Amino acid sequence: MAHIKLLLIWACCLALSTSFAYGLGVNWALQNVQKALNSAGLGDKIKATIPQNADVYESGNSGPSQGDFRSDIRDLMQKICSFFKDNNAPFLVNIYPFLSLHKNKHFPIEFAFFDGQTKAVRDNGISYTNMFDANLDTLVVSLKKASCSGVKIIVGEIGWPTDGDLYGNVTLAKRFYSGFFKKMATKKGTPLYPGFIEYYLFSLTDENEKSILPGSFERHWGIFRYDGKPKFPMDITGQGHEAMPIGAKNVKYLENKWCVLNKYAEDIAAARPLSSPIAPASRAKRQASSSRRLLRSPLLSPFRLTNSAQPHPSLTPDLSQTGAATTGRATIPTDAPPRSAAITAGHSSSA
């Protein structure tokens, strides 16, 4: 079978869920891109599609059998899905059982995983033991209601973060991936979408600049850390060959540095430039209140980052014993800080 390439119009994922007008624009973009591909004679090989978050459809408190596209964007989703159908393009959906758990503390945690430790939920004669099946089948029913049965479904994103949330840790991530890979290896699909399902993991590495508006977990989706080091052993084949993913090689690190209290700092708020010109009276008031704020805030205490090519030689042995050097935390003072402070820092970072 010829391999079909996908051209993803990514911009819409979140926006489509919130803005109908924006969605219409994306729909036009979708049509224009595919039209261009078709007229270039590439339409059979390259398909334009718009990845969607799973919040474009819902089933309320009912099971998947009651699924449908959200009423506020149903017309638009109908148009998009018909377009997929006419052009043989796939529906890409991002499914995150973790997010269900994160958003709803009453969500039955076992239902997020695949190890059948949960009581099955019956719906229209079908037993569901995991959220993935129930979610994907809600999409199948929604497509059917939109007269778009037969559109291929691809899981555009799936994964589990390892930090930044009550449910974001390596134990749960490992459990999720392990069950998911095993399930995918059977190629059995879901009750309403039987067979092989193409899927893409989210994500490869942690991202230190990803927005944390939805939560701190956003920077911890990687199966690799930010520096390319693997986090935990995985069995990507789902057939019992668990192994540590192979890490990136030759990653260069900055040297370790200490943060040191600047003993000459008196009031750092006073030295802080004001960004906008304001009237003298309110300026003084604002300065006073901002310095109170600064002095209270532990994050803004008057520390100074020092830079030196040489770590302080007398401190090196202490650090290597405490493990501070290997944990990669902020370390290494330069301007001869008190020795006791150095030792304290080392101990706290290995604790």
CA 330 – CA 348 distance, rounded (Å): 11
Tell me how far, at minimum, the Cβ of 171 lies from ligand NAG, in Å: 4
Residue 309 three-state SS? coil
Instruction: Determine the size of the site formed for ligand NAG (CB under 6 A).
Output: 5
CB of 110 to ligand NAG, least distance (A): 12
Return the HEC string of 173-216. HHHHHHHHHHHHHCCCEECCEECCCCEEECCCECCCCCCCCCCH
CB-wise, 128 or 217, nearer to ligand NAG?
Answer: 217
CB of 168 to ligand NAG, least distance (A): 8
Q: Return the number of the residue (167 or 258) whose C-beta is nearest ligand NAG.
A: 167
- In the numeric block, the tokens 């891109």 are attached to 33
Residue 244 CB, shortest distance to ligand NAG, in Å, is 18
Residue closer to ligand NAG by CB (options 85, 102) is: 102
Contact window for ligand NAG (CB under 6 A) among 83-91, 110-118, 169-177, 289-297: 169-177
Using the rule CB under 6 A, is 99 a contact of ligand NAG? no
- Binders of ligand NAG in range 170-209 (CB under 6 A): 171-172
Strand, helix or coil for residue 201: strand
Query: Helix or strand or coil: residue 230?
Result: strand
Task: Select from 169, 287, 306, 350 the one that contacts ligand NAG (CB under 6 A).
Answer: 169
What H or E segment, with its residue span, contains residue 290? Answer: helix 280-296
Q: How far apart are CA 25 and CA 315, in angstroms?
A: 61
Amino acid in position 74:
R
Helix (H) or strand (E) holding 58: strand 57-58
Q: Would you count residue 115 as binding ligand NAG (CB under 6 A)?
A: no
Cβ atoms 194, 138 nearer than 8 A: no
Per-residue binder mask for ligand NAG (CB under 6 A), 221-250, x = binder: ------------------------------
**Residue selected from 36, 166, 204, 330 as contacting ligand NAG according to rule CB under 6 A:** 166
Residue 167, interface with ligand NAG (CB under 6 A)? yes
| CA atoms of 121 and 26, how far apart (whole Å) | 37
Region near ligand NAG per CB under 6 A, out of 25-33, 162-170, 182-190, 233-241: 162-170
Residue whose C-beta lies closest to ligand NAG: 169
Within a 10 A sphere around the Cβ of 293, how many other Cβ atoms? 11
Q: Which stretch binds ligand NAG (CB under 6 A): 32-40, 139-147, 164-172, 256-264?
A: 164-172
What are φ and ψ of residue 164, in 5° steps?
85, 10
Q: Of 246, 242, 96, 243, nearest to 165 (Cα)?
A: 96
With vertex at residue 98, the alpha carbon angle to CA 16 and CA 51, rounded to the nearest 5 degrees, is: 30
Site residues (vs ligand NAG, CB under 6 A): 166-167, 169, 171-172
